[in-house]
Structure 1
């Protein structure tokens, strides 16, 4: 076991590191406020749902969101609140943080911040994200502090995440699954997590981004009142060349919870969108995503992006069956309207057929590939 520093000590260390940067000129002399949002609807036809096949699919409400950005001098705010149906967790905050800009290269964010891990911000091009999202490793947001540096050649970030979204403020109360990004729920809770990310940028005609990410933290168990641990390491690469984009990641992950006697340690519960499921405690993950953008002049349609995003989850437990995801599709841009047309296929994937509860954990060796044809139409303002 390792010792966890007191939160007061962690904050002192963090702010001590920032002192050399000092404070710089004030940019906005008057308060600034920018409001935006989106409204989306969704059509779905799933291979494993007989009622949808009989009806020819289903079309309904997806999401409404409000975005707010504000700034005064070098202090700024970024927040996003989303409204889903009750079946998908209801309403919740996706992100919400206050920032301070030391200069054009260095910032500090505090609140429900984007976790600096892997390719920012999405390791995918499609509406479903990549398989990394479903284990909490893509577009993840947690409560903490984050320091960011960006220049022409380098990007790096350091963060201390005190915990995931804590809605009950009770140590013996399980975390709710009504959240945007996947976090550990059930009898374990993420706490005192450290993140570091480094990206080297190079190239002119082809713009390359080669990076490394790491995170390490505790898993507090409600039953045993003990802290286990978890970590993740990733090597990631992205390149933009002409109208092409390619991104890939190699990730290794391990969870070591201090569960009560009789509770299995080879799986852990994660939750989002109102419903939890199990994933394997230890796994490797490999992803590759490619897209090409085509400019067109078809009435209101100005651009089409074609893509294919692939992800593979290799579980380290020999008795578990691996999971796969592949999404082929296109994004159609027409003014403020963005339409994703996706054919998403999965094998032992909780959101693409199967029994949902443990597809990302034990899995089913007799499972077959299932697919979902999906059209998501959104007006973004």
Structure 2
């Protein structure tokens, strides 16, 4: 067994007077290049201090989140389990499984991943640098982890292609809600106290992404162009009808040394078969 890494971090967000302190470490056993593979245990603990002028209750140091990862990597297979625990009122009053997948390396340029995983939509897992999650995250297009199968291939050594099918969402876990204790944004069962009682569920999600990396003589310069498309069924459990979710995104990333710019544009449209609000643009 090897002790691999120890990290301490401090980050602050000025306009809210929000500071976060993090501590992380990992342990591993085995060799990732062998057939038997390497098993690695890692994670972090994070605390935060908030000082908001409009709320005296937040001027205190509290536990923020804990994350635990179990990663497996070999010459043929790979896998990952990630679980997170958050605090709102009490320790771990919300926790959820983020990833739980197993993959097979067909060869150096082709692999298949099965299980709960990040969906290949947009330029990557995180588009925005927002401490609370941005708009794209809230509408369920960024950092979305659902259950399915994804095939990835690399063409001409500089073009990554993903094709995934996700029959169901990531599921509900531990928290104070009827169906909303989730890491990702999904359609959920309405709370009995909610004014809107339409029950929607997204199924049969087809997602495709192409990302082409441009080549330059300068090794410090990098750029890529890509696009992705999302098509799925929206099951209206209230009316027993099926609508559609269609979304697309075009993106480009430009980097020079440690500086990087990401440009993203797109559109998503939801036909939820709700007679009161039939279209969600």
TM-score, scaled relative to structure 2:
0.76
CA distance in 2 between counterparts of 1:150 and 1:125 reads: 28
CA distance 1:221–1:233, shift in 2 (3 Å): same
1: CA distance between counterparts of 2:255 and 2:134?
A: 19
Quote how far apart the aligned CAs of 1:147 are.
0.7
1:163 maps to: 168
Residue 198 (str. 1) matches residue 210 (str. 2): yes
Distance in 1 of aligned mates of 2:138 and 2:102: 27
1:72/1:175 Cα in 2 relative to 1: closer, same or farther (>3 Å)? farther
Q: Cα 1:222–1:199, aligned 2, differ >3 Å: closer, same or farther?
A: same
Name stretches of at least 5 consecutive residues in structure 1 with no aligned partner.
Answer: 1-25, 169-173, 267-280, 283-381
1: CA distance, partners of 2:40 / 2:223? 32
Count of residues in correspondence between the two structures = 232
Find the aligned partners of 2:253 and 2:121 in 1 and give their Cα distance: 14
Q: Does 1:128 align with 2:128?
A: no
Displacement, 1:167?
A: 4.4
Q: Distance in 2 between matches of 1:117 and 1:265?
A: 25
Q: Is the 8 A contact 2:254 2:262 kept in 1?
A: yes
Q: 1:62 aligns with which of 61, 64, 70?
A: 64
CA shift for structure 1 position 129: 4.3
Tell me whether 143-152 or 190-199 shows the greater mean CA deviation. 143-152
Distance 1:142 1:253, change over 3 A: same
Greater share of helix: 1
Deviation at 1:251, TM superposition (A): 1.5
Equivalence for 2:144? 140
1:236-284 CA distances to partner (integer Å, 9 max, x unpaired)? Answer: 111111221100111101110123x5x4335xxxxxxxxxxxxxx21xx
After the TM superposition, which residues 1-381 of structure 1 pair with which residues of structure 2 at under 5 Å, given as runs? 28-46=34-52, 49-52=54-57, 57-85=59-87, 87=89, 90-150=94-154, 152-167=157-172, 176-186=179-189, 187-204=199-216, 205=218, 206-259=221-274, 261=275, 263-266=276-279, 281-282=280-281
2: CA distance between counterparts of 1:61 and 1:129? 18
Cα separation, 1, equivalents of 2:138 and 2:260 = 22
The 8 Å contact of residues 221 and 228 in structure 1, kept in 2 or not, is answered as yes
Q: Distance in 2 between matches of 1:240 and 1:139?
A: 22
Contact 1:78–1:96 (8 Å) recurs in 2: yes
Instruction: Give the SS at the match of 2:36.
Output: strand
CA drift at 1:58: 3.3
The CA RMSD over aligned residues, in Å, is 2.4
TM-fit CA distance, 1:116: 0.5
Larger RCO, structure (CA 8 Å, separation 6 or more): 1
Shift of 1:137: 1.4
CA distance in 2, matches of 1:117, 1:147: 13
SS at 2:35 equivalent: strand
Structure 2: stretches of 5+ with no match in the other structure? 1-31, 190-198
- With 176-185 and 192-201 compared, the bigger mean Cα shift is at 176-185
Q: Which moved more, 1:234-243 or 1:126-135?
A: 126-135
Counterpart in the other structure of 1:355? none
Instruction: Tell me by how many angstroms 1:29 deviates.
Output: 2.3
TM-score if structure 1 supplies the norm length? 0.57
SS at match of 1:51: strand
Larger displacement relative to structure 2 (246-255 or 73-82): 73-82
